[in-house]
Each structure stands twice: as structure tokens, then as C-alpha cells.
Chain A
Amino acid sequence: MTTYESSLISNRTMGWRMGLRNMLLKENFAWWRTRRWWIQILVAVLILNGSLALNLRDPMGAPVDAQAINYLNTSALFVPILIVILAQDAILGERHSGTTAWVLSKPLQRPAFILSKLIAYGLGFLVTWVLIPNIIFYIQLVAAGREGLSIPGFIGLIGLSFLNLLFYMTLALMLATLFDSRTPGLGISLLIAWAGPLQIFAKPFEKYTPWLEDILPWKLISGFGEPPLAGYLALGAKLPTVVPIIATVLWCVVFIGVAIWRTGREEF
């Protein structure tokens, strides 16, 4: 075979990274060299910044700070839905279409398959659903006359928005490896996503399991009637607690760990 191989250099990466680079190239291609990126940006800006712009133009509308809280709540309510649908599809769509079995028949490690989704989708969502809408959000607030916003604090707000998004993305990736249908993953993710911002769900949780708000990402960009942690950061104020931040990071790690473990056991 060696004479037949010409001067091509064989890929010798072994272990969990085997195939990761190639899968990442492919996932990034799907994000940035198809229509996906600008559609995501368009939807994100229309939903988040569009609604804020309409509210800010209303002369009888609420004060700017209340509008900012509304923006964050809208983000907490709607972003998880889209993130969960897209992230689930990254796993389930491929499994159902047969492309997962195809790529796994090549020199690709299963952890690398999951990590490529995590990294590429994480980057894609960061740019389309966090960075661009939040930069516009900042500009909108400044344009509306809100003073005293700290730029480092606003970067912190972006960080917490991304962490919140990462929680739902990793949760969706994990659930997609555990269930063969989209319904359970969507149901569980949305229950968690909406239980915080929506008072109808939040009240019983506050009453019977008040500790849940400390270990779930509910306080990151929305709050139980209180300013979200992202709000404190945006104003350059001291955070009342960092427990939800640490807990959310840990959840993300656990979700990815479970997704990798489950994919390792999957049969195609």
C-alpha cells in the first residue's frame, strides 16, 4: 500500500482527540459557510433587540432599566427554546439521518464527536445569540440615555448570558443522547428554562424548593422578582452570590460528561 499512498501525510492523532479537528472544521463549515449564521443573527436581533427597540420608542413605556430587565427576561424565555431545538438537532437529527453512524465508521472518537458539537455550537451561539444582540443591547441602552454602564461589567453580563445559554445547550446535547425523540428533551429543557422567569412556575419552587434557584441558572439573567446577577455586573455592582454561577458551570460539565458517556455506549 505504501507506494499507493503518494506523499499524503497520515493523520496519527489517537485517543479522545482522534477526528476532533476534522469534525470541528466540518461543524464550523456548517455554521459559517452556510446560511445558518446570518439566519440566527437575524432571528436573535429581531426578537431581542427588535422588541427592546419598540419598547424604548414608546413614550408611555417603562423606564430604561425596566426595559433592560425585560430584555434579559425575554432572552431567558426565548433563547433556550431555540438553543434546545438546534442543539438537540445536532445530535438527534444526525442520528436519525444516519450521518452519525457514517462519521463514526471513520477514525473519529465518540468523545470528539460530542466535543465538536459543543465547541462549534457553543461558538456559533456565542456570536449569534449572545455577542451581537448584547452589543446592540448596550448601544440601545446608551442611545436611550442610560448612563453608568460599566463596559467590563457589560462583558460580565455577556459572560453570564453565554453561561446561561451553555447550560441549555449542554442539557439539550445530553438529553439528545439519552432519548431518541425530541419531545422529552424539549419538555425537560423548557420546564427548567421557564420555571425561573415565569412566576406561575417560580412561586411553588420558591415556596417548596428555594435552594433550586441557587443551583440552577435562573438568577443569571432573570430573577425571582429581584435584579438578575447580570444586572449587577452591568452596573459594576458587587454580586450578591456566585453560587448559581459555579453551580451552572458544574452542571455544564456534568451534562457533557453524561453525553460523552452515553454516546460511548450507543449502538448504530
Chain B
Amino acid sequence: MNSITTKFPQDLTKQVTEWIVPVSETSVPVIEAHGLSKAYKGVEALKSLDLQVQKNSICGFLGPNGAGKTTTIKLLLGLARPTGGSALVFGKDIEKENDLIRRKVGYLSQDPRYYDYMTARQTLRFTAGFFYEGPKVEIENRVAETLELVGLSDKADRPIKGFSGGERQRLGIAQAQVNYPDLLILDEPAASLDPIGRRDVLEVMEKLRKHSTIFYSTHILDDVQRVSDTVVILNHGELVAQGPIEELLANGQGTTFTLTVKGDSAAVETRLHNQSWVTGIKTISKNGRVSWRIQVSDPQIAEDQLVPLALAGGGVTICEFGRKAQNLEEVFMNIVEEDNHDHV
């Protein structure tokens, strides 16, 4: 900070310090858990979770059913008490300072339920009432703006009782962000939405990322890959992977190449198996062609040598060759299945 401010004349120093965000503020994680654990009647739902979610990131929280995602979210919100470890949200302890945390958080539960006798507008007005005292007109404007954002303006004054699952979900997203929270925690936000609704939710999340950190659990891995910066994967209540999505995709199971040939494929396959940098091969034969999915430990060597290797013995024609982009679903399945094997 000092080295930057000294470059400016004295009268500008004040202005500069106002807009330069201190390094310490940006580097403090919004969510930080250390050994966070939760057991229900002796059954461990969450085992010593260490977690960090950085400011203004969109963090996808993944895991099979029963992995401990909702438990973690409830612990962060003070809806359940940890049996071990600790966690901080905005640097505040989740057990001792939860009141302060909830002022800055918006939350959408997995199965959102509201008061059926209220309309969508009344529900948002009620939610906003927890955060704001007034002025009334401003609150009404915020409510209207939020309804517009989730596409519920035309149904704003209908009782929730008649809402479809998708409309309830939209209302859920609206109530979660009516206070423009610094942290938005969404438990399955795209569940029960049709493809258009899903797309809208992702768009809303992208819009909000400028102002909020978004921590959301989901089963829809395409969505995670589309909007998230970081991913946290839980399995059997344990953290099995955490990091930026690109890193996870790159490191998931090495790099995969696809190679399709016509001709004497057996000899090519033998040569491939003999390479130390080839870690796995899947073969698919179709219409006189043979395709291999080749997992490699060294992508550079593979890129340089796979084609010469295939052509080395002659008698084959290469129909297709390329590096296959890993998708998150494959990475997720590999990580979880590997972890399940370890548990067996």
C-alpha cells in the first residue's frame, strides 16, 4: 500500500487510499473452515472439513447425495451446531457471531418453503424487513427489482400456494438475494427448474458475482463448469477435492487424447501400451475403424509422439487425432469413484 501511495502527490493520497482495497481485505477468505465436523447420533455427516472460499468467487459445492453438503451449509448459517472444528464467515465465528454473519448472507434452501398465504411480493417484503428498516418506498423498489430479476413480476401478487416448483425456486432465489448479500449460499438452486429456468438462474448468478461471493451446491455439473471459478467436492462427509475448476480439469485424471485409425490397429495398440507415459487406453471399434481414448501422464510427449507412433509400422491411416477436453462430470465421477474404492 505504502509504495503505491507515495507515487501520488499528498492531496491525492486520501482519494487513492479510498479506492484501493487493502490487500488483507481481498485475501481474507469469505468462508474458512478448519476441521469442521458434524455427527448426528454418532453418525458422522461431516468429517473434519477444511474449506476456503475466496471473495467474489462462484464456488460449486459438489458431492453425491448424503455427502454432507447441506450439513455444511446449515453449519455455516448456524442452523446446526458443529461437533468439532470451527469455521469463519467474513472472519466471524459461525457459533459465536452468527447474527452478524446472517446479516450479510442470502440463503436458498434445498426445498424452499414459504408462507402459503403470502404472495411473492409479500414474501419478499417480509424477507427484506429482516434487513432494512425503510424507507418503505425504497423497500418496495427493491422488491419490485428483485421480482423483475427472477422473472416473477407478472405473478408478484398471486398467493404462493398456486406456484409451480419452478416458480417457487425463482422466488427462493429472489428472497435469497433481496438484501444484495455479500455471500449467497444456494442449496441446489437449479433443482426443479426447466432448461430456461436453469439458464436464467445461471445468468442471475453471473450478474451477482460482481457484488457477491456465491457458494452453491448442485448436481448439475454442466452448470458448475459453466459459471464456477472453484469447486469443492465432498464424498462420505470428507473433502476429496478443492480448487480452481481449470486446475481440477487439468489434473483430474491426466490428459486424454483420442486417436482413430483404419487398418492394422492391433500393432498400433501394442505400441501404445508399451509407452511409459500412457496411463490408460479405452478401445472402441466401429465401421472398420478403431478409436482409442488414451490417457497420458505427459501431454507434451503425447502430442508429439502419438501420431508418429501410430504410423510407425505402416498399414494404418489416421482418421482423427486430438486432445480431448475433460469435462467436470468425468473428473467428478473419477474422483468420487476412486474415493468410494478407498472406503471399501
Chain A contact residues, CB within 8 Å of chain B: 1, 4-11, 14, 18-19, 21-22, 25-26, 29-30, 34, 97-99, 101-109, 267-268
Contact = CB atoms under 8 A, between A and B. Distances in A.
Interface string B131-151: 111110011011000000000
B114 A102 contact: yes
A18 B79 CA distance: 16
Contacts of A268: 74, 79-80
Interface string B61-94: 0000000000000100111110000000000000
Contacts of A5: 180
Contacts of B139: 8
Contact of B113 (A26, A98, A108): A98
A146 B142 CA distance: 59
Interface of B: 74, 77-81, 99, 102-103, 105, 107, 109, 111-115, 117-118, 122, 126-127, 129-135, 138-139, 141-142, 180, 182, 211
A14 B30 CA distance: 22
Given A9-B133, A98-B109, A102-B112, A1 B182 contact: yes
A36 B268 CA distance: 79
A104 B99 contact: no
Contact of B126 (A6, A14, A26, A101): A26
B102 A107 contact: yes
Contact of A18 (B78, B99, B107, B138): B99
B211 A1 contact: yes
20 contacts: A1-B211, A6-B142, A7-B138, A10-B132, A10-B133, A22-B129, A22-B130, A25-B129, A26-B129, A29-B122, A30-B115, A97-B113, A98-B109, A98-B111, A99-B115, A101-B79, A103-B130, A105-B109, A267-B74, A267-B81
Nearest to A19: B130
A92 B117 CA distance: 17
A105 B80 contact: no
Contacts of A30: 115, 117
Given A1-B211, A30-B115, A105 B77 contact: yes
B87 to A, nearest CB: 16
Contacts of B126: 22, 25-26
A107 B99 contact: yes
Given A107-B102, A268-B80, A11 B131 contact: yes
Nearest to B180: A4
A106 B135 contact: no
A21 B132 CA distance: 11
A23 to B, nearest CB: 9
A109 B133 contact: no
